[in-house]
Amino acid sequence: MKMMSTIERGVATSGYVTWLPQRPVFFLLFLFLFSSLSILAQTQQVSGVITDQTGKPLTGASVIIKGSQQGTNTNEQGRFTINAPANATLVISSIGFNSQEVPVKGQNAVNVQMGVSTQALGEVVVVSYGTQTKRNITGAVQTLNAKELADIPVAQVTQKLQGKLAGVQINQGTGRPGEGMQLRIRGQASINAQGQPLYVVDGFPIVGDISTINPDEIESISVLKDAASTSLYGSRAAFGVVLIQTKRGKTGQTNLSVNAYYGVQQVPEKGRPQMMNAREFAQFQKERYEFNAQAVPAEYQNPSQYGEGTNWYDILLRTAPIQNYSISMNSSRDRFSNAATVSFFDQQGVVLNSGYQRFSARLNTEYRFTDKLKLGLNIAPMYTINNGPVTTDGVLWSGGIIMSAILTSPIAPHINPDGSLPLTAGGTGLFPNPNWYRTVQEVEAKTKTFRVLSNASLDYEFIKDLNFRTTINIDLGQSQFSRFSPSTTGAIFAPPPQKATAQANNSNYHSWLSENTLTYKKVFGDHNFDGLVGYTVQKFRSDALSISKTDFPDDRIRTITAGATTTASTSDIQEWSLLSYLARLNYNFKGRYILSAAIRRDGSSRFGTNNKWGNFPSISAGWIVSDESFMSQIKALSFLKLRASYGLVGNNNIGNYPYYASVNAANYAFNGVLANGRSLTSLANLDLGWERTKQVDLGVDIGLFSNRITLGYDYYSKNTDGLLYSVAIPSEAGFNSVLTNLGQFKFWGHEFTVSTQNLVNKFRWNTDFNISFNDNKVMKLGNTNAPIYGNTNTTITRLGGRIGEFWGFDYLGVYQNQADVDKSAKYATSAVGTAKLRDVNGDGVITNTNDDKTIIGNPWPKFLLGITNSFAYKNFDLSIVASGSYGNKIMNRTLESTLNLDGVFNVLKDVNNRWKSQQQPGNGLPSVKSGTTDLIRYPNTYWVSDGSYLTIKNIALGYNVPLRNKKYFHNVRIYGSIQQALVLTNYSGANPEVSGGSNPQSNTSGGDALNQGIDWTAYPVPRTFTVGVNFGL
Amino acid sequence: MNKSIIAGCFLIASFGSCKKDFLELPPQSFISSATFYKTQEDFAQAINGTYAALRSLYSDAYVMGEMRSDNTHYIFKATDRGGQNVQREQIADFLDDASNAFIANKWTSSYNIIARANQILAQIDAASFDNTAKNNIRGQALFLRAFSYYELVQYFGDVPLHLVPTQGVEDAALAKTAKAGVYTQIIADAKEAATLLPLKSVQEKGRVSSGTAKTLLGYVYMTLKQYGDAATVLKEITGSNQYTLLTDYAAVFALNNKNSSESVFEVQYIQGSLGLQSNFAYLFIPGLTNTTPITGVVGNNQIIGGWNTPTRDLINSYEANDKRKDASIAYYTDAGGVTYPYVKKYLHTHANYNNTDDNWPVYRYSDVLLLLAEALNEQNKSSEALAPLNLVRKRAGLTDVTTTSQTELRDIISKERRLELAFENHRWLDLVRTGKAIEVMTAYGAKVKANPQAYYYPAGSAPLTQSYNVTQTRLLFPIPDREIILNPLLK
């Protein structure tokens, strides 16, 4: 270590400048004829000392002769020496300080004291196609930098954002390692498309989400919420835009840092399903048979012979390690800067046989040929291995192992007394099940993904402040999935021995983007202009291949080659292309009155011939009121800005070929021989166009007491028109739906943020708080306003209501006695002790149709909040992050099975409190009377409960080890952290952070608005205890 | 030097790609309608695709066609009250409502066939290819459309009549056409199909032929009580020399007799991994943890089995020597000693669980003969009716009927149809067509309620008191509620 750092410094302070080749530079200057090569005047030696605001020497500050490539860095005493023309100007910069320009004026000694750039509002924020000072921003943008996200040891950056962003709902629906999470910005939702924002990494809109990107590579994240901020991303911006800036070399610095953490994950006891144990289950079965006057099978005749039995939930779980190691190096010297990060992340899953590993690297470099010309190259390869049971999440009939396992008889053992493993786990009168302990461990399923993100950019300054930038970006990915299910494994209703099956999928994609922009800045007195025009081209293609086989001779050869019979083989090619023009003009007068207008014109392969192109304009304005002289009397008010914006953005997330009428295979056989057939499976719609969201945003930013308190408020209102969705049509047409642009949603909300520096002296305490209120309303649906039923008739989206409200029966309890039955509305099987439902249409009869169903819950929160408290005392720091949601309802669809009264599943302990007789009416669950139990298996109010929660997401305590000698380490920091420390909720299911799945019968994040708040059981979210260390060299 | 090359590449990459067709990316994994329906091969594939939709129509057809009647019941699953079970039971018990998924499938599948046929009929004239081939495809499309409308009109009564392809939202919902109008269209289509289609002997095996279209016409005329027209068209079939009865009744359903000389129309299946298999055997046997004792293949059909179970009434109505009884029904005794009969017509050798090779017989020659006998008898040509009737009886190993009393013969023919065509989805519609449904099913319901255990209810379970309230409205099924919501004209 010692040697390394010495060498590093040696290079930095001595030979670096002369080492670099000169010839290419010369060539370029010659070729472009924009030479600014100054004729070297007579030079002299200049030296001096650079100090910080307190007078201490600054090491590694960069000193460059303005207008040339010549420069040097200060040494450990803050001293520099350089040969400079007598009329030269030195540019001195160092991270964290305002850079300064000092004319040499023939002097031999130049000493400079630097000023700290602490002005938060002077902070430069990454915005669409450029950067902007926070002060001048007129849209709704929230930015977080790496420092604010440190110490949260999680696999993906999205987890770190929980609780930090106003108006953004981030739910961790599943704890499955490697699973992406969804950001819902300002409640935006659509019907056909998932609600994911557009992720832009270093200016490149990437494929998919950012779950595979190593959080250690990220420098800052900007979340763009309003149309004015996002309209330069046009047709893809309706769900908001998340801009990720990765780490790059910082001027004048060379450093190396090593970060490592190790943690242990556990599933908390709270939230585990309270299923009956073996004794309770036998008792329940016994009572059920007796109630129905049937003979009790031997297995259940004597419940007291059983004890706890098998807890099928617990046996799937384990305590699992999580670890991460990362080395970053960055340096910037003269014309060359680079930042490199190499990481290894390994998370074993808390469910047996699951885990996720990621190897990632990133190299960001920049080479400045001249002041006018620079080349940037970034490359970030990553490789992930996701290992685990194919389906852990979701409902039993789509194979969810967790849900299937908890329904298995607790009497059945997962390990025999002799230590051998049974094949099956059944019981008298029960559905046959595999031994889940074996299935979860013996199914081999693995996804290996390789991905490279890379960008190259070239910047050229034609004349002062007129810059041309061209970039080429490539996102390449390759993914390989393989599964082998041996004969000893199975699924619910399909116990082993089964024929072994295997599957292999291969897919790859590439997306390339070329962007060309021209920017120009000009100041006329108090008038400041800057403008941008650009032209971009992007194209995507993916190729996928999948093959499934069965009839393996045995379980020994586990690759698909050994399977005798192919059960499925498919291939798919997807492509899209996008051609765009963009322009923006920013203007401000005296830095006080700010105006900005932007437009993007997008042409897309996805849309019908009649609607290929769309225009997405926006306009915004800001007024820094606190700069007005009449405000100067108000001493407490240090900053006040009013903002307003309006714009139009689009959603093109509807698949690649929606407007084509597809003709698909519809094979038949004639006399035992395959006959290839085809049929039209969708209707063409050449008029198909963008889903357009118009958004108004009104905001105010306030700073009080020298910005010790900063407040932000935004009101927004959005109108999504031309909703892209499959309008249901009567099936007499031969089709169930046709994709159209008929529909309208309205969204609105209020967002507040407060940041306070509560204590600023020896003991420092900062609080960041945000709260947001969002709501939505359905304004129009199709041509007939026919409601949309989602999630197998579990949600309804109808005119005047909200999107995806729960739909079902209003459960009133049970019929207490015959008089109750006689006077109440009845279903076909109603009797004393059976489920009593509200007769919604009042016809005296309960029918299992929409007539007696009603809205039974709103999945959208009334408000979302997040609080981060940070404390620091001497070398200690502590931060506590909490996030919460209030007023949303959750429908626990697991109860359809875990409250099943037919005796085919294990059930919740609660079932013991069912109606048993008029003397034992129980707590509202109906009786086990045979043939009467079907009605409560449909969505009803009994399944709906309050989903409010407040979760302490992370507590991190750090200690900066005081170093006597900083020769080898700049800093050493150790920390301990607890992720998912505490969940406060009344929700009885495993996890209140239920989000809509892309698969309607799974919790796995996907963001389908019609499936919001429906819990189908998921991989549990563990609590993680971690210790970590950071070394800075 | 290399830097300038890089710079040059950037510019080329940026501007070189903006060709005019950059935004035109047609799908590569499926064909679009813009390029389909052009050639003979396209239409050949399109007509095959129209047949393919028959498979989903027939997957559940036994529920409304057979289980609704007195031929079959179901084995009540006291421990599995899932919707897929309850809804089937409701159809059998006359408790079904508009939310029933099986009724919706009848509606949707029928209209799927119609839509596919309409695509062909609307576009085939514009294509230029061999006229014989074109007429054959047109004939098949017309038949399949007529056949589907006949299903719809029998089960639902007045229905919307779509005769051209739907373009979009605007023309998707039509008002109902009265039954008479639907029948007029069916007759027109079936007549045209009968002239366009070749004889069975020259048609590819498994496709519909002119005889198939004429059988449909015969059925339609019978339903409309136009007995003379029915007899005429049915006689054209018997006189065509295209069809004979196989000598052995059981052999009719054997795998090696698919599309035999007795077959008029079958829905085709093949076992294996092509996804073209049938699985009726597994639905119709009792639910077992291991199906080996019945099917010879390991599997667990507890979830899917236990439907279309032959009733005692049906079993008891076979005459002593009727060969059809053992060819149609077998028995299984479970561990508890309870014996269940099950349909064995669709159970033959196969390799994999829930994956059989058996076709579904839609029209058979014996069906044509019995229909002809009925048509003649209804015209008071009782003696003439005896010949076709006795052909069928003789094959079953039964003695000839000699009575010429129209009333007696009517009952005999009805019973003969019940037994000859048992489990082939004719019974319920025959009862409705002959006006016997209310009488027969009310009596049957009383028997079920009086002795539930004889109708496969376990001890402690029984049909609901409201069941088997067989009224005039129950002769039709409710139009699915989804359809009414989306097309209020159907109310």
**A11 pLDDT higher than 60:** no
Residue A14 confidence (pLDDT) above 60: no
Q: What is the dihedral of CA B206, B208, B214, B216, to 10 degrees?
A: 90
Q: Which of A486-490, A514-518, A861-865, B184-188 has the lowest mean pLDDT?
A: A486-490
Q: What is the mean pLDDT of residues B197-218?
A: 97
Least confident of A143-152, A981-990, B11-20, B87-96: B11-20
Indicate the pLDDT class of residue A78, thresholds 50, 70 and 90.
confident
What average pLDDT does chain B have? 93
Coil, helix or strand at residue A111:
coil
Greatest mean pLDDT range, A21-35, B52-66, B78-92: B52-66
A1001 touching B (Cβ < 8 Å) = no
- What residues of chain A, 285 to 314, have a C-beta less than 8 Å from chain B? 292-294
The pLDDT value recorded for residue A17 is: 34
Average pLDDT, chain A: 87
Q: Do A537 and B458 touch (CB under 8 A)?
A: no
pLDDT, tens digit (0-9, with 9 covering 90-100), for A789-802? 887 789 999 999 99
A984 Cα distance to chain centroid: 23
Q: What percent of chain A has pLDDT over 70?
A: 92
Q: Which of B3, B14, B275 sits opposite A27 (nearest CB)?
A: B3
Give residue A251's pLDDT band: very low, low, confident or very high (50, 70, 90): low
* Bridge partner list, B53: none
Q: Distance between CA atoms of A654 and A29, rounded to whole angstroms?
A: 47
Do the Cβ atoms of B99 and A514 come within 8 Å?
no
Which of the two residues, A115 and A749, has the higher pLDDT score? A749
**Token pair of B114, please?**
């119609």
* C-beta atoms surrounding A49 within 10 Å: 19
Please state the rounded mean pLDDT for residues A277-298.
Answer: 94
C-alpha B331, offset from chain centre: 25
Q: Which of residues 4-43 of A touch B (CB under 8 A)?
A: 24, 27-28, 31
Rounded Cα distance, A617 and A597, in Å: 8
Residue A1005 has pLDDT above 60, yes or no: no
Cβ contact A375–B6 (<8 Å): yes
A787 to chain B, minimum CA–CA distance in Å? 9
Q: Which residue of A has its CA nearest to B204?
A: A670
Q: Could you give the 3-state DSSP secondary structure of residue A922?
A: coil
The answer on pLDDT for A22 being more than 50 is no
Token pair, residue B211, equals 């005889």
- How high is the ipTM of this complex? 0.91
Chain A contact for B257 (CB, 8 A cutoff): no
pLDDT value of residue A1006:
53
Q: What is the DSSP letter of A208?
A: S
pLDDT of residue A53: 64
- Residues of chain A with Cβ-Cβ distance to B486 below 8 Å are 728-730, 784, 786
pLDDT attached to residue B5: 45
User: Which of A495, A537, A679 lies nearest to residue B17, judging by beta carbons?
Assistant: A537
- Return the structure tokens found at A70: 């010549």
Give the amino acid at A1009: A
Look up residue B5 and give its two tokens: 């090359």
Q: How far is B120 from chain A (nearest CA, A)?
A: 10
CA-based nearest residue to A484, from A380, A555, A567: A555
pLDDT at A252: 65
CA-to-CA separations, A910 to A310, A367, A895, A947, B21, in angstroms, rounded: 18, 68, 11, 20, 64
Q: Longest Cα pair distance anywhere in chain A, in angstroms? A: 112
Q: Is the dihedral of CA A718, A722, A724, A725 positive or negative?
A: positive
Q: Is B10 on the interface with A (CB under 8 A)?
A: yes
Is residue A565 within 8 angstroms of chain B, CB to CB? yes
| Minimum mean pLDDT range among A582-596, A617-631, A679-693, B337-351 | A679-693
Chain B residues with CB inside 8 Å of A669's CB? 206, 268-270, 274, 276
Residue A398, pLDDT score: 73
- Tell me the CA distances in angstroms from A552 to A482, A922, B299, one per residue in order: 15, 52, 17
Task: Give yes or no for residue A908 having a pLDDT over 90.
Answer: yes
Q: How confident is the model at residue A193 (pLDDT cuts 50, 70, 90)?
A: low
The CA distance from B420 to B398, in Å, is: 12
* SS3 call for B349: coil
The CATH class for the domain spanning A121-250 reads mainly beta
Cis upstream peptide for B27 (omega within 30°): no
- Give the closest of B18, B48, B168 to A537, CB-based: B18
Tell me how far apart the alpha carbons of residues A152 and A218 are, in angstroms, rounded to a whole number.
13
Q: What is the C-alpha to C-alpha distance for residues B317 and B308, in angstroms, rounded to an integer?
A: 17
pLDDT tens sequence across A338-360: 999 999 999 999 999 999 999 99
Q: Is the pLDDT of residue B84 over 90?
A: no
CATH assignment of A2-113? Answer: 2.60.40.1120
Closest Cα in chain B, distance from residue A171 (Å): 32
Which residues in chain B are closer than 8 Å to A539, comparing Cβ atoms? 17, 22
Determine which of A203-217, A442-456, A1019-1033 has the lowest per-residue pLDDT on average: A203-217
Tell me which residue of A324, A327, A323, A331 sits closest to A341, measured CA to CA.
A327
Q: Is the pLDDT of residue A120 over 60?
A: no
Q: Which two tokens stand for residue B47?
A: 């007509």
Of B27, B169, B273, the CB nearest to A740: B169
How do residues A812-826 score in pLDDT, each as one tens digit?
999 999 999 999 999
Query: Among A517, A650, A539, which residue's Cα sits nearest to residue B19?
Result: A539
**How far apart are the CA of A651 and the nearest CA of chain B, in angstroms?**
17
| Mean pLDDT across A954-966 | 88
CA-CA distance, A439 to A389, in Å (whole number)? 8
- Flag whether pLDDT at B4 surpasses 60: no
Q: Which of the pair, A554 or A69, is modelled with greater confidence?
A: A554
Check residue A360 and report its DSSP letter.
E
Amino acid present at A86: A
* Partner-chain contact A930 B78, CB within 8 Å: yes
Give which of A652, A593, A579, A601 is closest to A626, Cα–Cα.
A593
In the block, tokens 């350089």 appear at: A82
Using CB atoms and an 8 Å cut-off, which of residues 105-144 of chain B contact chain A?
107-108, 111-112, 114-116, 118-119
Quote the percentage of chain A above a pLDDT of 90.
57
Spatial distance between the Cα atoms of A800 and A784, rounded to a whole number of angstroms: 14
Instruction: Find the residue in B nearest to A432 (Cα).
Output: B289
Contact B28 A733 (CB under 8 A): no
Tokens for B286, please give them: 């009792």
First to last CA, chain A: 9
Contacts of A931 in chain B (CB under 8 A): 76, 78, 81, 461-462, 464
The structural domains of chain A, with segments of one domain joined by +, span: 2-113, 121-250, 810-849+910-938
Q: Which two tokens stand for residue A487?
A: 């004969």
Exposed (0-12), middle (13-18) or buried (19+): which is B130, by Cβ within 10 Å? exposed
With contact defined as beta carbons under 8 Å apart, do B379 and B371 qualify? no
pLDDT by residue (tens digit) across A377-410? 999 999 999 998 777 777 777 778 999 999 999 9
Distance in angstroms between the alpha carbons of the first and the last residue of chain B:
78
> With an 8 Å Cβ cutoff, are B481 and A850 in contact?
yes
CB contact under 8 A, A734 and B47: no
Of B4, B34, B45, the CB nearest to A31: B4
pLDDT at B3: 47
pLDDT of residue A7: 33
The count of C-alpha atoms lying within 13 angstroms of the C-alpha of B361, restricted to the half-sphere facing its C-beta, is 27
Report the pLDDT value the prediction gives residue B449, as an integer from 0 to 100. 96
Q: What is the mean pLDDT of residues A181-189?
A: 85
Question: Which of helix, strand or coil describes residue B189?
Answer: helix
Give the per-residue pLDDT at A30. 35
What sign does the CA torsion over B64, B68, B72, B73 have? positive
Q: Say yes or no: do domains A2-113 and A121-250 share a fold.
A: no
Where residue A672 falls (left for φ over 0; alpha for ψ -120 to 50; beta otherwise) is left
Under DSSP, the state recorded for A294 is -
Distance from CA of B104 to the nearest CA of A (A): 9
Query: Which residues 314-343 in chain B show a CB within 8 A of chain A?
Result: none
User: What are the chain A neighbours of B7 within 8 Å (beta carbons)?
Assistant: 28, 458
pLDDT of residue B491: 86
- Partners of residue A878 on adjacent β-strands: A871, A957
Task: Read off the pLDDT of each residue in B171-198 and give the average, rounded to a whole number.
Answer: 97
Output the pLDDT for position A21: 38
| CB A995 within 8 Å of CB A152 | no
Residue A691 has pLDDT above 50, yes or no: yes
Cα distance between residue A757 and residue B243, in whole Å: 95
CB-CB contact of B151 with B110 (8 Å): yes
* Residue in A89, A110, A92 with CA at minimum distance from that of residue A100: A92
**What does the CA dihedral B312, B314, B315, B316 come to, rounded to 10 degrees?**
80
Whole-angstrom distance, CA of residue A570 vs CA of residue A559: 18
Q: Does the beta-carbon distance from B81 to A934 stay under 8 Å? A: yes
Residues A503-557: tens digit of each pLDDT: 999 999 999 999 999 999 999 999 999 999 999 999 999 999 999 999 898 888 8
A-proximal residues of B, 22-41, CB under 8 Å: 22-34, 36
Name beta bridge partners: A951: A883, A983
Residue A211 pLDDT class (50, 70, 90 cuts): confident
B114 vs A37, more confident: B114
* Sign of the alpha-carbon dihedral angle for B356, B357, B363, B366: negative
pLDDT score recorded for residue B7: 46
Q: Which of B13, B28, B107 sits opposite A472 (nearest CB)?
A: B13
Neighbours of A275 (CB within 10 A): 25
Distance between CA atoms of A814 and A936, rounded to whole angstroms? 11
Point out the residue among B15, B79, B458 whose CB comes nearest to the CB of A902: B79
For chain A, the residue count is: 1033
Residue A968: count of CB within 10 angstroms of its CB: 14
